[in-house]
Structure 1
Amino acid sequence: MTAAGEDAPQYGETWVYESIVGALPGASLSGRAAIALQIAIFQASLFVLAWVYDLWAVVPAGTAAIGVAAVGSALMLRFSTATRKLDLPPTYQRFLFSSGIEVVLGVLAFVALVTHLFVYGPQSGDSALLPALLGPDPPVIVVYLMLLVLWDLCYRIGTSWWAAVVAAWRSYRYTFDADTAAALRRTDANNVAFGLIQIALLPFLREQPVLFAAVAGHVVAVTVVSTVAFATIETEDATAV
């Protein structure tokens, strides 16, 4: 008889996001339930704080960020689930899931963002984002929620970028049978979709040229690299002479 959870992916075969959800004591959440809980907590917190501090102007931007992060969670889970079903080289799966590089990239993106928000933006003379959204004296708890949502976004951006880079290496390094190649092309297209979803953030960054360029540049880079990975997958039949 199979033990409960035996068929579930093991730690080291998952994104860090999946490992955290799966490690919650006493919790057994499906992917959809975890994403729904994520949206509910963030969105309810946003509305409550907007009401308490009369910051309704921040709701559209906050909702867009929460929505993009939630879509990112869904696409990450679809990507990882589809990838684990395939018979792929262990090295590729190890680089993708076990290295933790997506966390490193997310941390680097988040630190750069915080530096821009609190140091570079105010010193450069550009329109400061925090005062524009939250007023000259932003409430501490509102800033806390904002940074939490932004970390969520940065982590998913780091994951998307790492998936694109590893996919390009995979397509250069290995050949696959036709069915596996087709499935991998779908995962690459999934990553492109997540990159394009982030365009929804750009209207809120029109007065922030550095952040606008960073997000737009990321979208373009992930799209280009994932498309190259998609287009250069070689099948065993194609290489046979």
Structure 2
Amino acid sequence: MAPNYGETWVYESLVGAVPGLQLSDRMALAIQLVLFEAAVLAVAAGYGLWDAVPAATAAIVVAVVGSWLMLTFSRTIRELRTPEPYRRLLFGSSVEMALSLLAFVLFVTYLFVVDPRGSQPTLLQQLLGPEPPAIAVVLLLLICWDVIYRIGTCWWATVVGFWRSLRYSFDRPTTGRFARLDALNVLFAAVQVMLLPFVTDHLILVVAVLGHLVAVVLVAAASIALQRRRVTERS
């Protein structure tokens, strides 16, 4: 059964809006991986940018893992029949899109304004050479948006999970499933560490990735502990 409008991420809504398109999770993830990687290899072959392939592949893998997390998270939430205010805040508010857009704007500002002012080669030059081809820049920004959107979704799911733990209590099996969902957010934040080897010369980006990881771990751990304590108090 198709999910109701307002109970999906923007990502799911866009895919589900395509007439006649019904893909399994595995197929959707495989298509995402293959299409992006094929585009990267084609641009690398066309412009001799093979040094950028490892970084691009790492980013694509992070994005695909993020897509898996989003699909797993949303479908589990719908199966659990969670309180309507929680689902509305999680999905219907589209806050994850706003957070992602803000993060992307900050990243683009760093890439084209802040980074060129330093004495070191810019990230764009390190990845795409001194005169980056326009199509390569477009693909880079598209992949970065794909990653950043999923990071924004991860953070929003973590924050709303903490709010859920403050407001609601559930039986032990349901609490266990919520704990596993909160742990998935930590897993995805940890996967993002794959990107660090490619930005080690850019302290702001290193701090952003590690800061996000630390924040997700702390908030998710607090959410799990609080939710489990409420079950104990309720028993």
TM range (shorter): over 0.9
Q: Which residue of 2 aligns with 1:4?
A: none
Instruction: Indicate which of 75, 78, 101 corresponds to 1:84.
Output: 78
Partner SS state of residue 232, structure 1 = helix
Q: CA 1:237 to 1:210, structure 2 compared with 1: closer, same or farther past 3 Å?
A: closer
Give percent identity, aligned residues only. 51
Equivalent-residue separation in structure 1 for 2:234 and 2:179 (angstroms): 20
Q: Does 1:10 align with 2:4?
A: yes
Q: Contact between 1:178 and 1:236, CA under 8 Å: does it hold in 2? A: no
Q: CA 1:107 to 1:236, structure 2 compared with 1: closer, same or farther past 3 Å?
A: closer
Q: Contact between 1:127 and 1:208, CA under 8 Å: does it hold in 2? A: no
Structure 1 residue ranges without an equivalent (≥5): 1-6
Shift of 1:40: 0.9
Instruction: Indicate which of 162, 168, 178 corresponds to 1:168.
Output: 162
Q: Does 1:238 align with 2:232?
A: yes
Instruction: Indicate which of 135, 141, 162 corresponds to 2:135.
Output: 141
Q: Does 1:94 align with 2:99?
A: no
Q: Which residue of 1 aligns with 2:221?
A: 227
Equivalent-residue separation in structure 2 for 1:235 and 1:178 (angstroms): 10
Partner SS state of residue 80, structure 2 = coil
Partner SS state of residue 17, structure 1 = helix
Q: Contact between 2:51 and 2:127, CA under 8 Å: does it hold in 1? A: yes
Q: Which residue of 1 aligns with 2:21?
A: 27
Amino acid at match of 1:84: R
Amino acid at match of 1:214: A
Aligned ranges 1:30-69 → 2 under 5 Å: 30-69=24-63
Instruction: Indicate which of 202, 207, 215 corresponds to 2:209.
Output: 215
Q: CA 1:59 to 1:43, structure 2 compared with 1: closer, same or farther past 3 Å?
A: same
Equivalent-residue separation in structure 2 for 1:54 and 1:85 (angstroms): 48
| Number of residues of Structure 1 aligned to a counterpart in Structure 2 | 235
Amino acid at match of 2:165: S
Amino acid at match of 1:239: E
Q: CA 1:237 to 1:140, structure 2 compared with 1: closer, same or farther past 3 Å?
A: closer
Shift of 1:98: 0.6
Equivalent-residue separation in structure 2 for 1:143 and 1:15 (angstroms): 27
Shift of 1:125: 3.2
Q: Does 1:157 align with 2:151?
A: yes
Amino acid at match of 1:141: I
Q: Does 1:198 align with 2:192?
A: yes
Shift of 1:16: 0.6
Equivalent-residue separation in structure 2 for 1:200 and 1:170 (angstroms): 30
Cα RMSD after superposing both structures: 1.3
Q: Does 1:120 align with 2:95?
A: no
Amino acid at match of 1:86: L
Q: Deviation string for 1:194-222 (max 9, x for gaps)? A: 11111111111111111111111111111
Equivalent-residue separation in structure 2 for 1:185 and 1:122 (angstroms): 43
Q: TM-score of the superposition, structure 1-length normalised?
A: 0.94
